[in-house]
Amino acid sequence: MQAAPPQHLNPRKRPRQARSVATVEAIFEATIQVLLREGIHRLTTTRVAERAGVSVGTMYQYFPHKQALLYALNEHYLDLVAERVEAACRAQYGASTEAMVEALVTAYWQAKTERSEVTRALYRSAVELDNEALIDAFAKRMDAATMAMLKSAPDADYASIDLVNVTLLSVIFGTVRNVFERNLPSAQQLAIRRQLATMCLSYLKASGG
Amino acid sequence: MQAAPPQHLNPRKRPRQARSVATVEAIFEATIQVLLREGIHRLTTTRVAERAGVSVGTMYQYFPHKQALLYALNEHYLDLVAERVEAACRAQYGASTEAMVEALVTAYWQAKTERSEVTRALYRSAVELDNEALIDAFAKRMDAATMAMLKSAPDADYASIDLVNVTLLSVIFGTVRNVFERNLPSAQQLAIRRQLATMCLSYLKASGG
DNA sequence: TCAATATATGAAGGATCATTCATCTTTGGG
DNA sequence: CCCAAAGATGAATGATCCTTCATATATTGA
């Protein structure tokens, strides 16, 4: 995610020695842990530092403030998700519409639910964070990835591919989050996921796929 | 929303005189205002009281603590949304599948986006709030409302209506939220809404509607 | 009109937190 | 081996907040 972060959210300095690289990693990990175990209103710089096994001061060497830490964390996470979806899309170039939809739904769903507590924690950390730039960049990346995939379909000819594409993504991303947040039994989650894929496929077919 | 709130979130006492009814209303309104103008991390009991034109002490006569206030606020809001969707569903008993889907998508979409800043503010207020009971109750109400509507269709016979119904709701609710949060231009929002209705309709048709 | 009850006040207590900075320790290239 | 730069420390500061309670005012039914 190379969205230029809002000025004030820039990291303070980059780790140069192996020691500090480890420190920064520990801080990220600790942030997730605290978020998970204590919730966002108990996510304290001191607590994070403590769990990371460093002192508060150290944290402030790399992040100018708490928000910057959370920003960086979200950036990292979205990057992982984006990469996985992109890879899944690339793998389907020239494939059938059916394979494309299946791959897209599966890739996104898994990326989000594999470590669902972490995902949940990050959703929470993002509230009240100026991360519009992050979300935008993510959306654009996903848009480009799926668009390229759809265009490579040998048997498809969409009337308005932009609209079809943005709809597809909105529906998939939205549904995943909704199911995810309702914390339904996993059997039901799986069933819905299948239905979703079916629904998207018939939508694409009807739209020229 | 009659979900028994977690014990600790119960309101402290009910307003009995006209005066205090007005006070409670003012507090609700003020909470939304503060949430809107200042964000959740500046949502302070003092600030809310100030904006409501009462003293902090007064707030604590009706809400045992901040969380209880936010809980009550969300309860109120979800109630409004639920009522509107229920009414929309009731109005379509016996109608065509097409009319049903259109009505459902429109009702929910409008309920959420009509005062979109308020919706956004409430989404934020709900984070880090023990409102699972609220969400569950809301989901159940919606489930019942749409299920009754679908069953009343003269021309439909769904293989597994439970799954179809829960999928439909997940997709609609999820998509609305996704589009909503991405803050797309309203022309595009409208276009996606139309696509969504189309998509749901073809899904229902294919499922036996 | 007059208690009894309901409602409102807001200063003060107690707690938590984000952030800084003077000081100390470690690292790695020469 | 040495030292300049990098990294780490954590007590202290200043600010903000939630919540309480002793006190004051308003309302209502009799």
Q: What are the residue boundaries of the structural domains of chain B, listed by start?
A: 7-206
Sign of the alpha-carbon torsion through A191, A192, A195, A201? negative
Task: Give the ipTM of the model, two decimals please.
Answer: 0.91
What is the pLDDT confidence band of residue B2, given thresholds at 50, 70 and 90?
low
Structure tokens at B174: 């999820």
Closest residue by Cα to residue B45 from B22, B25, B68: B68
Q: What single DSSP character describes residue B17? A: S
Q: What is the Cα–Cα distance from B186 to B180, expressed in whole angstroms? A: 10
At residue B190, the pLDDT reads: 97
Q: What is the Cα–Cα distance from B63 to B57, expressed in whole angstroms? A: 10
The answer to whether A170 contacts B188, with C-beta atoms less than 8 Å apart, is no
Q: Which residue has the higher pLDDT, B53 or A129?
A: B53
B7-206 — its CATH code? 1.10.357.10
pLDDT (tens digit per residue) in B78-116: 999 999 999 999 999 999 999 999 999 999 999 999 999
Taking the CA of residue A60 and the C1' sugar atom of nucleotide C20, their distance in angstroms comes to 10
Closest residue by Cα to residue A37 from A27, A56, A23, A51: A51
Rounded alpha-carbon distances, angstroms, from residue B63 to A167, B102, B122: 42, 40, 18
Q: Which residue of A41, A164, A195 is in closest CB contact with B167?
A: A195
**Distance between A39 CA and the closest CA of chain B, angstroms:** 7
Q: Return the axis-axis angle of helices A18-38 and A66-90, rounded to nearest 10°.
A: 90
Structure tokens at B134: 């609220």
Do residues B41 and A70 touch, judged by C-beta distance below 8 A?
no
The answer to whether B171 contacts A41, with C-beta atoms less than 8 Å apart, is no
Closest residue by Cα to residue A89 from A145, A47, A49: A145
Compute how many other C-beta atoms are within 10 angstroms of the C-beta atom of residue A46: 10
Query: What is the pLDDT of chain A when averaged over all its residues?
Result: 93
Rounded alpha-carbon distances, angstroms, from residue A157 to A144, A164, A206, A209: 17, 11, 11, 6
Residues of A with CB below 8 A from B191's CB? Answer: 163
The count of CB pairs under 8 A between chains A and B is: 104
Q: What's the mean pLDDT in A7-28?
A: 88
At residue A1, the pLDDT reads: 53
Do residues B81 and B23 touch, judged by C-beta distance below 8 A?
no
What is the pLDDT confidence band of residue A155, given thresholds at 50, 70 and 90?
confident
The answer to whether B199 contacts A203, with C-beta atoms less than 8 Å apart, is yes
Is residue B57 packed enough to be buried (19+ CB in 10 Å), middle (13-18) or exposed (0-12)?
exposed
What is the pLDDT confidence band of residue B1, given thresholds at 50, 70 and 90?
low
What is the pLDDT confidence band of residue A6, given thresholds at 50, 70 and 90?
confident
The answer to whether B191 contacts A164, with C-beta atoms less than 8 Å apart, is no
**Distance between B126 CA and the closest CA of chain A, angstroms:** 10
B115 touches strand D (CB under 7 A): no
Q: Which residue of A139, A178, A196 is in closest CB contact with B182?
A: A139
Tell me which residues of chain A have a C-beta less than 8 Å from any C-beta of chain B: 39-41, 124, 127-128, 132, 135, 139, 163-164, 166-167, 170-171, 173-179, 181-184, 188, 191-192, 195-196, 198-200, 202-203, 206
- Find the nucleotide nearest A18 (Cα to C1′): C27
At residue B33, the pLDDT reads: 96
Q: What's the mean pLDDT in A186-191?
A: 96
| B35 contact partners, CB below 8 Å, separation of at least 6 | B43, B121, B122, B124, B125
Residues of A with CB below 8 A from B164's CB? Answer: 195
- Chain B 26-85 residues whose Cβ is under 7 Å from strand D: 42-47, 56-57, 60, 64-66
pLDDT (tens digit per residue) in A166-188: 999 999 999 999 998 888 999 99
- Helix then strand count (H, E) for chain B reads 9, 0
Closest residue by Cα to residue A168 from A100, A116, A113, A112: A100
Q: Which residue of A40, A195, A203 is in closest CB contact with B163?
A: A195
The answer to whether B206 contacts A202, with C-beta atoms less than 8 Å apart, is yes
Taking the CA of residue B45 and the C1' sugar atom of nucleotide D18, their distance in angstroms comes to 8
Beta strands in B112-167 (DSSP E): none
The answer to whether B195 contacts A164, with C-beta atoms less than 8 Å apart, is yes
Q: What single DSSP character describes residue A4? A: P
As a whole-number percent, the residues of chain B with pLDDT over 70 amount to: 98
Q: What is the Cα–Cα distance from A43 to B207, expressed in whole angstroms? A: 46
With b for 16 or more beta-carbon neighbours within 10 A and e for fewer, the A117-145 pattern comes to eebbbbebbbbbbebebbbebbbebbeeb
B16 touches strand D (CB under 7 A): no
